Structures are given as structure tokens and as C-alpha cells.
Amino acid sequence: MLSRHTFGILATAMKINYYIYVCVALLFASCKNEPYEDIPSQEAGEFQNVLLDFNIPSNFPALTYDLEANPPTETGFELGRRLFYEGRLASDNVVACGFCHIQEFAFTHHTHIISHGVDGALGSRNAQPLHNLAFQNEFTWDGAAIHLDMQPIIPITNEVEMNETFTNVIAKLQAHPEYPRLFREAFENGEINSENILKALSQFMVMMVTSNSKYDKFRRNEGNVTLTENETQGMELFNQKCASCHSGELFTDQSYRNNGLAIDPQYNDIGRARVTGFPADNYKFKVPNLRNIEVTFPYMHDGRFATLDDVLEHYRSGITDFENLDDSLRQADGTLGIPMTDEEKVRIIDFLKTLTDADFIFDQRFSEF
């Protein structure tokens, strides 16, 4: 154990060079109980601790994810990418994470109102975009996962999603011609177990940072990027009417709120209350971040709105009253909704489109092939 640990520290501390190889060779020679020592290293796969750079964009808040506890490495990230697009994580060997989280649509399920699982099973919620996850404190529409490393348990095991057991996933990956090597390259203990599966997926997902939209470049004063007059007006309107919930550079305050959507009797999805059990949390859902919102349609937890205009129209005229309706949707005179003119709606949408980040959506690092 100690020798492998030492390798990790040395490799992390300084660029791998010839002298370290010599030292490592010495270390391996020193303990006769090292596993795999008789297997040629190319076949066996060796742990490679080449860390990836994680740069927090200058306009972003602090990280939530503890990178030191699971530092993304080249091989860990690559394993995570493979697993993200791996159908074997599902009972039908087809429905991978990437089935409902499609990169071109900021990892949402394009045009699908609710997401589809194995054997044509239908879920009850719209797949959320995957980006800037390293800055989120809870996951899914109701916060049913309190740590990114644990989140994939839900889609992998849920019968209307991937409907598989971890026992089966581990067995399938162990029997695969490449995964044993990929796990050995990615993790010091080289094991195919649930911890390493989840950590590899997290290494892949935390690297998915979207921070190069027109808005970001404007914020950071990069390359003289300026917003048009319409976009600037839209940003001002957004700050007045939307930013109390869609706040900060993540465009969400990460709270759960009832935004006045009429109850869909088909699902009667109680939202946050399913996790907390508190009736006061009924029909509350997490305030979604708005980055890449132009491509993540349809909208809302159940995908009921096809366009951004529909969404803004809901906030203007479609609010259903609830006892726990969010205060921001109740005006001083008692009327419901957020007043805005037709032109103001168009300007807000002009601004929202500046949040689209083509660098991210077409980033080869995150694509299946």
C-alpha cells in the first residue's frame, strides 16, 4: 500500500520525469506482494495520476465539489466519459446517461417532454441540463441527491430510467475487455466497484463547466465583447424581474420554490416534499440555472413549455395560486405573476440567448466519440 501511495504523491508533486520512474521501479521491486507485478504493464494498465487543470472562471462563485477528495485525472475523466456513454449501466444495455443527456442540448433530452428509460418506460420529469455541477450543492429537481457522487444512483437504479443494479453493472464491466484496464489506469486500487464508478462519473461531470457564453465574455471584458442594445435592455429587465431567484453567475440561487404551475393530475408531482416530507414543500422545485437555456427546451420540471416565450407568458399571466406560492410571484396589490409587456418579454429572451455557450456545447472532450 505504502509504495503505491508514495507513487501517487510523487507523481502529483512534480512532473513525471526519468528519476521518478527509477524511484518507482525501486519501490515496486521492494515489495514482493504487489499485485499485477508479473503482468506486462501495457496489458495490465497502471494508475496514471495526471491531474487535469480545473480553472474556476473569474466571474464564478467558489466551488462546491471537493476536488481534493476526488481529483479529476486524465484517465479518471476518460473512464468517466466512457461510463457516461455506456449502455451497460442500464438493464437493456442501451440507455446510457448520455441517452437522456445529449451534449448538443446542454445535456438535456431534446424535444422529450419527459425522459424515456429502458423498455420504453416513461419518467415523470424533464431531464435537467448537466453543466456547472461542481458549483451545485444539491441535485435533481427536488434535491434528492445531496452529493454529486451519489446522484447517479437514482438514474441507474430507477425502474423508469436505467433500471439496473450496481451488482450487475460491476459484473458487466468486469467482464468487458477494456474496463478492467481503464479502472486500473484511473484509480490507485484499480478496483471495479461502486465507489470508483461513481467517482469516475463525477470526474467527468465536474469538468463540464460552461463559462464562455457571450454574456461571460462581456462580464469578463474579454475581446471587446459587448451586448447589443436589445440584449442590454433585456439584462436590465432580467435583473429587475427574474434575478431574485435566477441569481448570480450560475443563474440560480439553488433554492426550491413553488412557481405557480398548475398541478398536472397525470403525475401530481409534489416536488421537494417527496424528499423532505414537509407539506410546506409541496410542488416546490429547484430554481433551474439558465445557462444554455436557448437549447435546453422544453422547460419546467415536466417539460410543459416548449418555448421561452411560453415560459415568460406563464410568469406574466399563467400563475396558479397556492398557499405556498413563491412571494416573488405575488404583487403588492395581490395580483399574481410578474408584469411585463410583449416587448419586454422579447428583450428578456434576447438576453437569455447570450447565455448560450457554443464552446461548451461542441466541446470535443465531452462528446461520445
The footprint of another protein on residues 7-46 (CB under 8 A) is: 10, 19-20, 23, 26-27, 30-31
Q: Which of 44, 59, 74, 158 binds another protein (CB under 8 A)?
A: 158
Measured from the CB of residue 57, what is the shortest distance to another protein in angstroms?
23
Q: Could you tell me which stretch among 89-97, 107-115, 148-156, 299-307 binds another protein (CB under 8 A)?
A: 148-156
Q: What x/- string results for residues 236 through 275 when contact with another protein is judged by CB under 8 A?
A: --------------------------------------xx
Report d(CA 118, CA 334) in Å as an integer.
46
For another protein, the binding residue among 178, 195, 222, 343 (CB under 8 A) is: 195
Q: Tell me which residue of 361, 353, 84 sits closest to 235, measured CA to CA.
A: 353
How far, in Å, CA of 186 to CA of 209, rounded? 21
**How many residues form the binding site for another protein (CB under 8 A)?**
44
Question: Given the complex with another protein, which of 62 and 69 has the nearer CB atom?
Answer: 69
Residue 287 is a binding residue for another protein (CB under 8 A): no
The CB-of-89 to another protein minimum distance in angstroms stands at 13
Q: Give the nearest distance from C-beta 42 to another protein in angstroms.
A: 24
Round to whole Å and give the CA distance between 185 and 42.
Answer: 10
Please, are residues 121 and 163 in contact by the beta-carbon 8 Å criterion? Answer: yes
Restricting to residues 204-223, name those near another protein by CB under 8 A: none
Site for another protein in 53-92 (CB under 8 A): 66, 69-70
277 lies in the binding site for another protein (CB under 8 A): yes
> What is the rounded CA–CA span in Å between residue 168 and residue 230?
54
- Picking from 2, 3, 20, the residue whose alpha carbon sits closest to that of residue 11 is 20
Of 358, 58, 351, 23, nearest to 212 by C-alpha is 358
Q: How far is CA 85 from CA 78, 88, 90, 114, 205, in A?
A: 11, 9, 11, 20, 12
- For another protein, the binding residue among 56, 146, 306, 358 (CB under 8 A) is 146
Number of neighbouring beta carbons within 10 Å of residue 88: 20
174 binds another protein (CB under 8 A): no
The CB-of-144 to another protein minimum distance in angstroms stands at: 4
Cell match 434535491: residue?
143
CA distances (Å), origin 238, targets 66, 276, 314 = 32, 31, 15
Residues that bind another protein (CB under 8 A): 2-3, 6, 10, 19-20, 23, 26-27, 30-31, 66, 69-70, 138-139, 143-147, 149-154, 157-159, 165-167, 170, 193-195, 198-199, 274-278
